[in-house]
Structure 1
Amino acid sequence: MSEQTALSFIASPDDTKIYIVKGQKLVVEKSKGLGISLKSTVSARLTRTAIMAPILLNSMGNEHSDYIQQVEYVKNPHLDSMEEDILYHFNLGTKTHDLPQMFGDVKFVCVGGSPNRMRSFAQFIHEQLELPGNTADIRDICEGTDRYSMYKVGPVLSISHGMGVPSISIMLHELIKLLYHARSRDVIIFRIGTSGGVGLPAGTVVITDKAVDSFFRPQFEQVVLGKVIIRSTELDKDVAQELLQYSSELPNIPTVIGNTMCTHDFYEGQGRLDGALCSFSTEEKLDYLRKASEAGVRNIEMESTVFAAMCRVCNLKAAVVCVTLLNRFDGDQISTPHDVLLEYQQRPQCLVAHFIKKHLGLIS
């Protein structure tokens, strides 16, 4: 480890101060009160006991009161009058769990469809951050429910969201409330997953510029009490550009920025000819895909619009990073060998992990 990153941040026993240590030398003693917990075991030789180094360093020049001002992620005045908030699908609650203690230090949230994939990502990021302990011991925080899986690794949350807009929407409501109750700050959330490419070869990583609907509009329509509410699906452009820049530092991960089309269905909604129902011709399908390509669409999946819309409304920086499993101009079915698909699926994980390590100052 370089001299620049060989820093430790140790919380005092009463959790009111942070001791900044370089090697075995005390550098700074700072009043804590940052709304996060960094309790950790001091080993014989002090090393990275908390992966919060650059985050805390960035705060050293700020006034204490300015830094701890809470970000209001939620946009629901009714929450203030509730004695308890039960995050039902996470099997968590404000009375049954100490959410600030459990999640107050979260800085990065990575979500993806498959529970197994998000467990694998949790184990992968554990190794990438060089944290102590066995990856096999990482437990599912939501093990009391069968809806979602959640794993915490240092300042990183890894959560499954299932397939489609309804499933990820439910997860996002409870995730955003979780971050609010935990008083987490400056969180960046990533959706990492798979998609169908539009004019791109399999294995290409697409960083979403705009999430668009099936009419190529950058918006998400939500029906609330019989009325249609339209929300913007604009994502954080700085995060997207950073991801693209970092992709050039990784070998064998071809990466582009483009629009991502979100559909409500895997088959007819995406113009597939191989579903149980099909009411269009091959030429009609190809014509639609050509129009999508002309509109800047580079891949198709089923979650990005609601993900982008909710994160934007709730002041969360967000990015969608998905790998293509096939070029939809070439066909509909995924016939790539399983081991190749697994390698493809790891590409968004590698890119996002690289981003996280950069932001934590673990690599230059």
Structure 2
Amino acid sequence: MTQRRILIFGGTTEGRLLFEQLQDLGIQADLHVATAYGKELVDEGTQGFVESGRLDVEGMVGLFQQRIPELLVDATHPYAVEVTKNLKSACEIADIPYLRLSRAVTEVEGVILCETIEEAVAWLDRRSGAVLSTIGSKGLHHLTGIRDYENRVYARILPLTEAVKDAVAQGFKGSHLICMQGPFTFEMNLAMLRQYKCEYLLTKDSGVSGGFEEKLAAAEAAGAQVVLVGRPSDSGGLSFEQVLKVITGREETRVSERKLSYFPMFVNLRGKRVLVVGGGKIAARRIETLLKFDCDITVVSPEVEDAILAHFRGERLTLHARGYSAGDLEGADVVLSVTNDREVNRRVGLEANALGIPVSVADAHEECTFYFPAIIEHDGMVIGLSSQGQSHQGVSALAKKLRWILNHED
């Protein structure tokens, strides 16, 4: 059994789970979180050191010299850009291997996507109606830029003394300041949106562990528009499972030395059968792209978007208006699972893997054997873009930029 000492930074759900799981495996690990409250959330039965406090680069290097870790795992929040930057610098100074534990990015439709919180505030400022903010306490000072924010914005933050004091000082008081610890269920989010008659939900892509899907579902049920602050680029990160493999020695790697797993290979789809499980907006977009290629497309879904139905005019598109069932993948050459049901997507991925069929699972990049790329066409050339499942938003932004450049070249 390995005796490597691991130092984990981050009071996120993933950070705590990794720390506890390493303890169960008998691997020495320490955990550093930013706040005393984050420390309280850690299981008291753990054996490693659990420390709290905000550190700059110098402080991080000092901590490394005390703990002498063989590996640093950055499990901080995906929006904690400055902390990640400092950790990378400290690891470089101390010559300690660095791994980034990344949350999978959620692919969503129908949201107002903003690159920065400032952009989101400007968008909301031009409108009227109540806003439920779930971006946390650190971004509250930005929200004071929303017209009549004291009466329009309901801020949900952690019940931390300093955070509450700062929020009150900025004008968030009474029912407009909701101090609660998550995770929040669909029902809880929906109740809040309805209680305060919110027309907008301001949020970040906090991933599955951050309750992002529950917030999206609640907003849809309440008829509230989601305003999403896009996640900063987080290239080079690994999933929870991949980090565990690295630590336990089953997959030796360092981010700085890690080779890419997915090779951009163009395959001939002529005459191939592509099975699409799902009929929502993501499926519609995938099908619209596939129709540019000479393949036969079969759709399995009890309901489909009108945009998909509009394509059922030729023999290249077949619809089975029902749910997925075992055996549907027989005869398929390529499979896309794009339903809004996690269990269905998981089952499709398992069956495809068992049959050796390439599969793309929309809501779990670690279950994909290939990634569906963003496609750019220009003068008979085809460009495919992928982030290996790490940043759909980043790929979309880059694709738009490239299309603009190609369409406006001299």
Q: TM-score, normalised by structure 2?
A: 0.25
**Structure with max Cα Rg:** 2
Higher relative contact order (CA 8 A, sep 6+): 1
Q: TM-score, normalised by structure 1?
A: 0.27
More strand by share: 1
